[in-house]
Amino acid sequence: MTHGIHGHDADLIIRGGRIHTLDPSDSVTHALAVRGGRITALGDDAEALSARETIELDGRTAVPGINDAHLHAAWLGARWPHLFFGDTPPEQQPAGRLVSTPDERRAALRGAWSLLAELGITSYTEPGIGPGEDDGETGCFGTTMLDTYLDLHRERMQTSRVTLLRLFGTIDGESTLDDFERGIRSSVPTTDPRWLAITGVKIFADGIPPMATAWVQDPYLDGSHGELLTRGAVEPVEAFRRMVRLAAGRGLQVAVHATGDRSISEFLAVLESLDPATATPATGPHYVVHGDLATGEQIARMRRVGAGFAVQPLIAGHTHEWAGAQLPAERLARAWPVADMLASGVLTTITSDAPIVTPDWRTSLDATVDLLRDAEQVVDRGLRRILLRSVTLDAARQDGAETWKGSLEPGKVADLTVLDEDPVDPARAFSSIGVARTVVDGRTVFRRD
């Protein structure tokens, strides 16, 4: 055995508990070795090594680092502790400009990162930052926030890995084909994609069912259908199609906010018309964000084109009654088809959309369990392992990064979360499980006292 530059075989050995690797055979092991931020050995091979540092699990469970595949970190950091669905009463909700100066923007991101580390989150997708929001109300989504990301990235201040989507319209609002064309031609800043991967674009196709702004096939109770938010000299549908084709044609990942079945159907039609090379870009698969009213047929077609869904079961729980004021009962009953998505094998990530709701993934997984039980599914160990994968390996697949993160296998980065109990055990609510430690790139970024 050759010894490393520090006189040890490994920088770090983690041992003495259960380690869910989420490798292709879902192996569970008892030890893991790290060198240079990478996993180098597992099990007895890892324990046989000498290490500079050893972390004793003391019977706890380690899982791959949690990846929230749709989380507005800048906005979360600027608003914290105020969530839209949380303890903050309406009159105390932050309003207007939240961040104006470079220091405020840095503080927002760094605050979010320390909060995420406490929750065991090691990666996330920042879904939508760009020039369309330069005059935005909050200051959280404009070009200056992208600059702050780049500054902190170059200063190596990150404790979370970030996938970032650019935005050429307004957040939760309209975009024009002109702005989109101009934006997509602007250069993408050079970054180390292991820490800040700028993979593609976010497009807002429609609104949300509770506001009757999701674009739907059959009318709402008031007779309306919602509409597309894409604008231009051409019809909204044509503007939307051109935006998706433009981005996909440049090898970029396209994430479309689509909640209504009409919007999803238009997105699918474009995806199905792409040539195979741009249908599945190297930067990560195209995907629907939200997908509230996706039909079973659409879910199957999404799987066939290799696209995915980033869903928010906790928002579903919070807005279910509200949506009931707009949708006929039988359509409300079919909304948020997370059980169908998970059963179909389409790429599905369980995400928070924080600060809409808490960034605590354990609460989101408990809300997913509720949706699965409503669909009369038995949430056994196998299904809980699928849920765990939806916030780790499947999120890495959405990032186009499953070759180097998302599971605990030799050669992959040492991003992991140490939990007090085994999250696969069906007897336990996810939210009752404490986070003891968070490790990113082999380095502890959070340790509970």
Beta carbon of residue 145, minimum distance to Zn ion (angstroms, whole number)? 15
Dihedral sign for Cα atoms in the order 65, 117, 38, 146: positive
Beta carbon of residue 70, minimum distance to Zn ion (angstroms, whole number)? 6
Q: Which stretch binds Zn ion (CB under 5 A): 162-170, 274-282, 348-356, 425-433?
A: 348-356
Q: Which stretch binds Zn ion (CB under 5 A): 39-47, 49-57, 177-185, 350-358?
A: 350-358
Residue number with CB closer to Zn ion (256 or 433): 256
Please list, residue by residue across 111-145, b when 16 or more beta carbons sit within 10 angstroms of its beta carbon and e when fewer do: bbbebbbbbbbbbbbbbbbbbbbeebebbbbbebb
Beta carbon of residue 84, minimum distance to Zn ion (angstroms, whole number)? 11
Please list, residue by residue across 200-209, b when 16 or more beta carbons sit within 10 angstroms of its beta carbon and e when fewer do: bbbbbbbbbb
Beta carbon of residue 251, minimum distance to Zn ion (angstroms, whole number)? 24
Residue number with CB closer to Zn ion (227 or 353): 353
Interface with Zn ion in residues 352-381 (CB under 5 A): 353
Residue number with CB closer to Zn ion (266 or 353): 353
> Residue 419 to residues 116, 312, 387: CA-CA distances in angstroms?
15, 23, 16
Q: Can residue 266 be called a binding residue for Zn ion (CB under 5 A)?
A: no
Q: Can residue 68 be called a binding residue for Zn ion (CB under 5 A)?
A: no
Beta carbon of residue 202, minimum distance to Zn ion (angstroms, whole number)? 8
Residue number with CB closer to Zn ion (75 or 180): 75
Q: Which stretch binds Zn ion (CB under 5 A): 109-117, 325-333, 345-353, 361-369?
A: 345-353
What is the distance between the alpha carbons of residues 169 and 181, in angstroms, rounded to a whole number?
A: 11
Beta carbon of residue 191, minimum distance to Zn ion (angstroms, whole number)? 22
Residue number with CB closer to Zn ion (206 or 353): 353
Cβ atoms of 159 and 115 closer than 8 Å: no
The interface mask with Zn ion, positions 299-338, x = CB under 5 A, is ----------------------------------------
Cβ atoms of 414 and 442 closer than 8 Å: yes
Residue number with CB closer to Zn ion (32 or 310): 310
Beta carbon of residue 76, minimum distance to Zn ion (angstroms, whole number)? 11
Q: Can residue 399 be called a binding residue for Zn ion (CB under 5 A)?
A: no
User: Three-state DSSP class for 321?
Assistant: helix
Triad 197, 199, 204: Cα angle to 5°: 130
Cβ atoms of 43 and 29 closer than 8 Å: yes
Residue number with CB closer to Zn ion (353 or 366): 353
C-alpha closest to that of 171 among 138, 204, 214: 204
Beta carbon of residue 71, minimum distance to Zn ion (angstroms, whole number)? 8
Residue number with CB closer to Zn ion (12 or 74): 74
User: Three-state DSSP class for 286?
Assistant: coil
What is the distance between the alpha carbons of residues 333 and 328, in angstroms, rounded to a whole number?
A: 9
What is the distance between the alpha carbons of residues 169 and 158, in angstroms, rounded to a whole number?
A: 27
Q: Can residue 126 be called a binding residue for Zn ion (CB under 5 A)?
A: no
Beta carbon of residue 140, minimum distance to Zn ion (angstroms, whole number)? 12
Cβ atoms of 442 and 34 closer than 8 Å: yes
> Minimal CB distance to Zn ion: which residue?
353
What is the distance between the alpha carbons of residues 407 and 29, in angstroms, rounded to a whole number?
A: 13
Cβ atoms of 208 and 154 closer than 8 Å: no
What is the distance between the alpha carbons of residues 86 and 90, in angstroms, rounded to a whole number?
A: 10
Residue number with CB closer to Zn ion (259 or 392): 259
Residue number with CB closer to Zn ion (257 or 301): 257
C-alpha closest to that of 107 among 76, 138, 65: 76
Beta carbon of residue 50, minimum distance to Zn ion (angstroms, whole number)? 46
Beta carbon of residue 142, minimum distance to Zn ion (angstroms, whole number)? 16
Backbone angles phi, psi at 278, to 5 degrees: -95, -10
Triad 319, 325, 329: Cα angle to 5°: 95
The footprint of Zn ion on this chain (CB under 5 A) covers a number of residues equal to 1
Q: Which stretch binds Zn ion (CB under 5 A): 106-114, 226-234, 327-335, 346-354?
A: 346-354
Beta carbon of residue 371, minimum distance to Zn ion (angstroms, whole number)? 19
> Residue 31 to residues 58, 193, 231, 345, 445: CA-CA distances in angstroms?
12, 28, 55, 30, 20
Residue number with CB closer to Zn ion (172 or 321): 172
Residue number with CB closer to Zn ion (57 or 129): 129
Q: Which stretch binds Zn ion (CB under 5 A): 4-12, 231-239, 317-325, 347-355?
A: 347-355
Which residues contribute to the site for Zn ion (CB under 5 A)? 353
